[in-house]
Amino acid sequence: APVFPIIVARIAQHASGEAIGIVNSARIAAAFVGPVIATSMLSHAAAPAVYVVLAAMTLVGVPLVGVPGRRGLGDAGRLGT
C-alpha cells in the first residue's frame, strides 16, 4: 500500500503536473479494469488463469516504467533507509 505514494513523490520531483495527472488516471483506470477483468474471467475460467492474465498485464506495463534518461533512485532506492 505505501508503494504508490513513494512512486508519486519520486515522479513529482522530476516531472510536470501533467505526468502526475497521467499516473493518477492510470491508477484509477487500473482500479476499475483489474476487478472487472478478474470477475469476468472467474465466470469462465479457473482462478490460475486469472492470475496468469493479471501477471501478464503487469509485465506489459513494466517497459513503460523504464523511461530512457530517468535518473536512478540513489540512496532512496535502498531498503531500510
**What DSSP string runs through 16-67?**
-HHHHHHHHHHHHHHHHHHHHHHHHHHTTS-HHHHHHHHHHHHHHHHHHH--
For residue 72, pLDDT beyond 70 = no
pLDDT band for position 56 (50/70/90)? confident
pTM flag (> 0.85): no
- The amino acid at 17: G
Spell out the domain ranges in the chain: 3-63
What is the rounded distance in angstroms from the CA atom of residue 27 to the CA atom of residue 43? 25
What rounded mean pLDDT belongs to the chain? 73
Instruction: Please give the pLDDT value at position 53.
Output: 84
